[in-house]
Chains A and B, each alone.
Chain A
Amino acid sequence: MKWLLTTLRPDPEAIMDLVRAEMEPARYSSFKPITAGPLVAFAGLATIGILGLLLAPIRLLKNFRSL
């Protein structure tokens, strides 16, 4: 399980791009908390979880090929 979770994590280069974006004042609003009410937040998190599961096989394959 731990291996799976680690393998599914984004690669460091993608995170570096995210760090650069987060440090841009012009992109500030893209990093603000989303506060749409508890129901919407829960539905949002659930949707993200399902999308993540659907994308997992593709990401696993990609990470395997980069090994």
Chain B
Amino acid sequence: MKKKKDGRWAIQSLAALATNSHLIGFFGEKINIYKGSLKSACVPGLNCYSCPGAVLSCPIGALQAVIGSRSFNLSLYVFGFMLVVGATLGRMVCGFLCPFGLIQELLHKIPFPKKWKAFRGDWPLRKLKYVLLAVFVIALPLLLVNPAGESSPYFCKLVCPAGALEGAVPLVVFPPTAAGAATLPGGLTLDLPGGAPKVELIDPGSATRYETGTLFYWKISLMLFVVLVSVVIYRPFCKYLCPLGAVYGALNPVALYRLRFSEDTCIRCGACARACGMALDPTRQLNHPECVRCGDCVNACPVDALSMGFGNGKKGEALSAPQGGRQP
């Protein structure tokens, strides 16, 4: 059966472009990230605000920035924003609006002899993103503070491969200047002595020197690991690591944008379960926290028993499968 088209690729591409529309940041001769007031607002998906093109803030980065600041211990602004988005769209953000989700999907298009849809330990490993949310995004920035009362964004610092790919790769691995020095916002100078592999950031005000070391290579290694695994496994970062997906996933069962299932229409062919990259059976696990609302199940259904949209749809199309559901 021919797969139905839904225009999702176009929406994902437009969302990624809109999120990173400060194009001069990529192509200018100097490091020049966007510094306008738009950055006080968050983007719904995961997109590093140190990406040269980013015009909005990453909600996970912003949450840690406020929690780790001297003035606040929690961020009602960012948490409230995530709740509004999660209760309205759920993980539809992951399927349609997240630039890093698009990158993983493109990587998964690369042909490979054996793609892994599920494996032993797959479902327990999916709980890891909730642990990362609780520990690295909330607890560590809240508790591990320096004498000045500030802390690091520990998820961004130690885990986030999106930051490494969208921030470190364009700024440090392939900086805008081929050699010499460039000035970063805040007076930092990026020093590239003769194209040497070691990159140093020098703060002329405090004479503080930053250089690529263990942390940098850890982040680049983790990013490369996620990139390579994305070829074999569908959206591994979304499944196992993304704290934003954890928040939106928890709200998926009640989100306004939802998957609908007509049990009377269903012929139980199993096409939807086979099409699901997240290894769900939509007829039993409708609006499950792991569903990224990509719509592949809707497109695969030969009798249109599944649909997707805001609310419950027309009468008679009401939900008839269990909400959320258990893992297989």
Report if A and B associate in a common complex.
no
Interface residues of B (CB under 8 A from A): none
